[in-house]
Amino acid sequence: MQLDQLIDIRRELHQIPELGFEEYKTQTYLLSYIDTLPQERLTVETWRTGVFVHVKGTEGKRTIGYRADIDGLPLTETTGYPFSSIIEGRMHACGHDFHMTIALGALTRLAEQPPEDDILFLFQPAEEGPGGAEPMLASEPMKRMKPDIIFALHVAPELPVGTVTSRPGLLFANTSELFIDFKGVGGHAAFPHLTHDMGLAASTFVTHIQQIVARRMDPLDSAVITVGKIEAGTVQNIIAETARLEGTIRTLSPESMKLVKEEIEKIARGFEITHDCSISIDYGSTYHQVYNDREQVEAFQKVMNRLPYTFKEAPMAMTGEDFGYMLKEIPGFMFWLGVDSDAGLHQSSLMPKEEALVVGVDTVEQTLRSL
């Protein structure tokens, strides 16, 4: 499969980003592309808005799994691409258009020239939230076709095209979403002493919880608490009766996640007294850490040594990935693929270099044939 064909697919997928478990157009696109491939060795099954594609190998002694996530983000694109998102307020700002295109490219090559092992492609919904990997793993088709080894990639804007990185052990963090609702007494802007301002409570809370990382965590450990959305009040001259914070917690171990949550809850109890309000906390979805199997990363490195690309050891990152749930049950690994973009992941001007698509397809295809 040539670069120009991959670019066409990527651009078509880039135009139709959809949120988790709403990937209807994406699923239709994937199915109609897969339908154009030689079908002799393929079994295609849908699962919710995702797709499983099983490729029957010539020997079929093992099954190797490859997972591509398919959802977009709630973000308005500012790339200025002529093939920008046509879906209002949605963007492929985490490279899942690349992930899907690379999977389709590798699938095309394997459908045309069969591998020895059976291969299972998983086009997985809802990686950005609420999490598609865990339910897909528990699904009936997955139980029936469960791979012996599994891997996945993620685009890396900070790496040059042609560079691939990974590491044995911990690659990505434990994550937990964080939703905090404040309820107090609002009122007239001119009489603050008669109210309990939830705008003030929530904004102070944001700065207070940062002290957990600075003063409650072991400095040799690490954590991130990010509040990505703050909402309070209705108009400029009414003191807010309610406020809501939305964020995410990242830690290097499940134990540290427990600690951070306990500390947030302690601060919330204190705030209920000092700000005379009630606070409720919901942790939304949580993702298990991405922990790479040493043996599989070493096997992957050997594959990379045979390809005309550069393999380097990756540092750990505080990104989260629900692929961690798959790696908890199936030995395997995740790797970063360099795509060289000035703008980073989750930025509205992310512009990965399309030459990286071929690097991705070569890497995935050769790894599926040789692990």
Angle at 86 between CA 18 and CA 178, to 5 degrees: 35
Catalytic residue list contains 69: yes
Q: Which is nearer to ligand L5K734KM, 271 or 287 (CB)?
A: 287
Q: How many residues does the chain have?
A: 371
Nearest by Cα to 72 from 57, 92, 58: 92
CB of 196 to ligand L5K734KM, least distance (A): 29
3-state DSSP assignment of residue 371 = coil
Backbone angles phi, psi at 309, to 5 degrees: -125, 170
Q: Which of 18, 69, 71, 134 is the catalytic position? A: 69
CB of 173 to ligand L5K734KM, least distance (A): 8
Q: Which is nearer to ligand L5K734KM, 77 or 118 (CB)?
A: 77
Backbone angles phi, psi at 45, to 5 degrees: -135, 140
Q: According to DSSP H, which parts of the chain are helical?
A: 3-14, 24-34, 96-112, 133-137, 140-145, 198-211, 254-274, 294-306, 323-329, 356-370
CB of 337 to ligand L5K734KM, least distance (A): 12
Q: Which of 97, 127, 128, 181 is the catalytic position? A: 128
Q: Which is nearer to ligand L5K734KM, 105 or 320 (CB)?
A: 320
CB of 13 to ligand L5K734KM, least distance (A): 17
CB 77 within 8 A of CB 84: yes
Q: Which is nearer to ligand L5K734KM, 141 or 324 (CB)?
A: 324
**Encoded tokens for 138:** 């528990």
Residues that bind ligand L5K734KM (CB under 6 A): 94, 128-129, 154, 175, 177, 248, 287, 319-321, 345
Q: Which is nearer to ligand L5K734KM, 1 or 159 (CB)?
A: 159
CB of 130 to ligand L5K734KM, least distance (A): 7
CB of 127 to ligand L5K734KM, least distance (A): 6
How far is residue 296's CA from residue 4's CA, in Å, rounded to a whole number? Answer: 32
Q: According to DSSP H, which parts of 38-181 are helical?
A: 96-112, 133-137, 140-145
Catalytic residue list contains 128: yes
Q: Which is nearer to ligand L5K734KM, 71 or 117 (CB)?
A: 71
How far is residue 109's CA from residue 362's CA, in Å, rounded to a whole number? Answer: 10
How far is residue 54's CA from residue 122's CA, in Å, rounded to a whole number? Answer: 9
- What letters, b where the CB count within 10 A reaches 16 and e where it falls short, cover 60-75? eeebbbbbbbbbbbeb
Positions annotated as catalytic residues are 69, 128
